[in-house]
Each structure stands twice: as structure tokens, then as C-alpha cells.
Amino acid sequence: MRDKLSDRERVCLAWTSQGKSSWETGKILFISESTVKFHVKNAMRKLGTTTRTAAVVKAIELNLIDSTPDAKRTAEKSDLPQPSSPNKVIEASGRNRTNGFSALHRQCHTASRLTTPRRCPCEVACRIPALSIFAPERPAIAVLPFVTSGPELGLAAALSDRITRAIRRLRWIDVTAPQWARYHLSGMVTRDGNGGIRVTLMVVDISARRFISDDDWSGADSDLFAFERWVAAKISCAALWEAETNPVCRGRPPAELNSRELTMQALPHLLSISAVAEEEALELLERAMELAPDDPLPISLAAWCRGLRAGHHFTANRAEERRAARSLAIRAARLNRCNPLAATMLAAAYTLAHDLERAEVHIERALTLDSGFAWAWGRRGWIRAYRGEAAEAIQCFQIARALSPTDRLHFLCCHGIASALFDMGRYAASIGWFRRAITENPAAVWINRWLAAAYVLANRKEDGRRALAECMKINTGLTITDLRSSLPWHSAYLDRVAEGLETAGMRV
């Protein structure tokens, strides 16, 4: 079988196994994209497969390609030239990444994004290997062939490709060959009694030898785009998140954690948005920044963390903390290229630094990189809310909730919807959403200050006083003047909050 695959076909398959697109492989090998597609199709035909994924899996099983991290071994076995370094590939391609991104960004965002989330061609411009600087530290998953039979074989192969594409868009996890992956994703495709399809996904942690998750999806053949979004949400779900954010599961002492692992360990503390948790998160992120000073993710998260500490009165030195947040945000912005999470955290940091203009730039970039990223939609909702665009803010929060129903930041979306309803004068409706946010995250006691104002303006003054008393347990010296300078709300909103809190008994 090895003799049947040409050297060029084996090299193209080897780079495909590393998640490279046809365009990227072409630039690496100095051939056209169509030539790469031609060789891959020939390899698929010779191996008797119908998809690239199946061809790669079969080639690895038959030892036709060596799936090393850089595919150099396969190239060395042939008479082909060695691939250039990623930076040289970008230079040889003659593409200006910044200008290309800006043009596509303007093209994709001239219309409102409050309709159904759509894929953006900017996504293609950000799939350059050199820009994924910290890929070696990211977790890796392998998509195994699905179990099925008969006429569903073609559908199973198509679903494998869709799953691979959906996971690649997450960007915080790599898709690679089974022998290099910590996680293995497998599944089964069957037909239900109504002619639809039923897909079962199973994720296994190979390194820890434990089962992670088991989920089902049902729908019609025409719903495969919805299937992609469902897969992305499930891979980001709590079980896999816990596996990545809890180093104890991996049997590693904290002193041995690398930058990415420290960053992931900091996230649960960061998302709690409480004084003690933010302090713990900042300590972990500072250690991560020491290990990887050029990684924009821990820097942008640290910027958001410091902004939270200032905006929610978790520290007495709020002005100093806000300046530190802005400084970290500027540093991370210079380093970030194609990480939607880092871009979202930059938007959050600039928001809390009262710079909504820069926050808007970074959140639009995050949505360009991944239009299905729930956190980005949530952050876009907050920017709209702070500006007084309540109806648009609610739409963004609802999109975020729909994209990721089990997200840890759901309580912030509930808080955002409540705040927007308050801004619209619908105080009674806002109370339910404020209470729901507190129920989802009991550590967020600070939400009671906004709930107290809503109670008072809804003529429930006694409830308002109780909510304020609950808030003042952790912020004993908080005044209305402090509150006015904490978050970048527009003046009309702050005037009504101040009116409610003064009536409830807060000092001016």
C-alpha cells in the first residue's frame, strides 16, 4: 500500500493529520491549494475512504504516514524539500495579516450581528500555524470514526468532518491524531423512527483512563449546522472543563503546572466574581505570566481580574487597580492575534476601565474569530447595556444563553438582562432576573445593590432595605458616590439607581 501512495500524497496527508487546511499545506510545501486538494483526493481514493479524516486515520493505522507534531519525518522519507518555518511561510505567502483582517472585519460587520450568528471569512485568515504560538500547551482531542452500518456510512463520515470543524473553531483545543491526543471522541449514528438521525457522542480522557461525557443529539439531515454548534457547546461543557481546570485529576502537583494549566486553574476562581476568588485567580495568573510573558491569554484574564476588583469594590485601591487593568490590557492587545477568548477578556478589561470604544473593537474581533462564542456575545451585551441600548443588550444576552445553556457565566447574562430591563423602566420584571442571577451564583452578593434599587422603584421598599443590608455585609463603607464611579453606566441609569439606593438607606 505504501508504494501506491506517492511521496507528495503522504506528505499532504501528514500535514492534514496535524489540522492544516489545504491552503496552509500549500504554503508550507510551496504548491497551490488546488494541488494539495488533488493529492489528498488521490490518497482518499487509493485508501478507499470518502473523507479526509478517514483517510488520515487509515494511513496512520497502516503506518503510511508518521504523525509527528511537525510532519518532518514524513518529508524526510521523500525527496521533497523540507517545510519552511511558519514565519517564513507567512512571508512567502505575501499576505499582510493586519490589513487583510481589517478589510474582512469591515465587510462582515457593516450589518447588525443581532440576527442569527453566522460564520465569518475572517476565520480563514486566522488559521495560520505561526499565530497559534502556544498550541503545544493546549489540550488535544482526536475524532475517531463513528460506529454505524449500511447506508449511514457516508453520513457518519460527514458528521466526523463537521465535528472536527466545530472543535477547531473553539481554538482552545487542538484536533490531532489519536496517538497524540489526550481526549478521544467517538460516537454512533442511527436513524430514529421518524426518518431523522440520532448521534451519540462519547469523550474519554485517555491519560486518566476515565469516561468524561456521553450526550445525544437528534435532528434532521438538514440540521447539520445546528449539530456543529451543539458539538462545540458540548465539548466546552462542564465535564471537560473540570478535567482541564482541575490539575488534581491529572495527578500533577501545582508547582509542576505550565502556563496554560495555571491559567485554566485560575478561571473557576475568576468566574466566581467574589473578592476572595479574584485574589486567588490573580495569584495564579501572575505565576502564569511569569512562565509565559508573551501569552496574551493570562495577561488579558489578569486585566479583567483587576478590572473586576476595581469595578465591584473588592479592593480599597480602586483607581490603582483600574490603571493596572488598563496597562495589562494594552500589553495583551499587542500580543493577541487570533484568540477569541483573549479578545473577549480584553473587551471586558477595557469595559471596566471605562473605555467602551476600545472594548467594542475587541469584542467585534472576538466575534469575527468565532461568531458562536457565547462569552463574546455576553460581553457585547454588557457594552450595549452600559451605553443605554437596552433592547439590543437583551438580544445579545439571549444569544449567549442559547449558544451555551450550561455556561458558568449564565448568571452574568441574567444580571445583564435584569439591568437592561431596569434601564427600560421595567423594575418588577428586572427583580426576577436579578434574583435568578444570585441563585445561579450565590457568591455574587454584590448583585444585591442593584436588586435593592429595583425593589424600591417597584414600590417594595422593605425588600429593598433587606437586599441592601445583605450587600452591605461585604461592602460596609460603600456609598452612592462610590457606586457612580465603579462601572461605566450612562448617567440616566445611575441617577435611578442612586434614587432607589438612597431611599433604601445607602449613604450618599
Query: Per the confidence metrics, is the pTM higher than 0.75?
Result: no
What pLDDT is recorded for position 149?
A: 58
Same domain, 413 and 365: no
Same domain, 365 and 442: no
Q: The domain spanning residue 294 has which CATH number?
A: 1.25.40.10
Beta bridge partners of 35: none
Same domain, 142 and 158: yes
Same domain, 354 and 381: no
Q: Is residue 99 part of a domain?
A: no
Same domain, 389 and 483: yes
Q: CA 434, 385, 235: angle at the middle one, nearest 5?
A: 75
Query: 104 and 368 in contact (C-beta within 8 Å)?
Result: yes
Q: Is residue 507 part of a domain?
A: yes
Q: Is residue 350 part of a domain?
A: yes
CB-based contacts of 54, cutoff 8 Å, min separation 6: 44, 47, 145, 157, 160
Q: Is residue 116 part of a domain?
A: no
**Total structural domains within the chain:** 4
Same domain, 400 and 508: yes
Please tell me the distance from the alpha carbon of residue 102 to that of residue 64, in angstroms, as a whole number: 41
Please say which residue of 323, 345, 371 terminates a domain: 371
Q: The domain spanning residue 51 has which CATH number?
A: 1.10.10.10
Domain that holds residue 415: 373-508
Same domain, 387 and 490: yes
What pLDDT is recorded for position 152?
A: 61
Q: Is residue 144 part of a domain?
A: yes
Same domain, 162 and 233: yes
Same domain, 341 and 383: no
Q: Is residue 364 part of a domain?
A: yes
What pLDDT is recorded for position 438?
A: 92
Residue 136: CB atoms within 10 A of its CB come to 11
Q: State which amino acid sits at residue 362.
A: H
Q: The domain spanning residue 220 has which CATH number?
A: 3.40.50.10070
Same domain, 227 and 209: yes
Per-residue pLDDT 10s for the chain (508 aa) are: 545 788 888 888 888 887 777 877 776 776 888 888 889 999 998 888 888 888 888 888 788 886 543 444 444 444 433 333 333 333 333 333 333 333 333 443 333 333 333 333 333 323 322 223 233 356 788 888 777 755 665 667 777 777 887 777 666 677 888 877 888 888 888 877 777 788 888 888 777 677 777 778 888 877 777 777 777 767 765 445 555 556 555 556 667 778 887 888 888 888 888 888 888 889 989 998 998 888 888 999 999 999 888 888 888 888 888 889 999 999 999 888 777 888 999 999 999 888 999 999 999 988 887 777 888 999 999 999 999 999 999 999 998 888 777 677 788 999 999 999 999 999 999 999 999 999 988 888 889 999 999 999 999 999 999 999 988 887 778 888 888 888 899 999 999 999 999 998 888 8
Please say which residue of 327, 346, 371 terminates a domain: 371
Same domain, 377 and 367: no
What pLDDT is recorded for position 169?
A: 66
What pLDDT is recorded for position 112?
A: 36
Identify which of 236, 202, 233 has the alpha carbon closest to the alpha carbon of residue 216: 202
Residue 320: CB atoms within 10 A of its CB come to 12
Q: Is residue 49 part of a domain?
A: yes
Same domain, 42 and 153: no
Please tell me the distance from the alpha carbon of residue 403 to that of residue 233, in angstroms, as a whole number: 7
Q: Is residue 125 part of a domain?
A: no
Please say which residue of 324, 339, 371 terminates a domain: 371
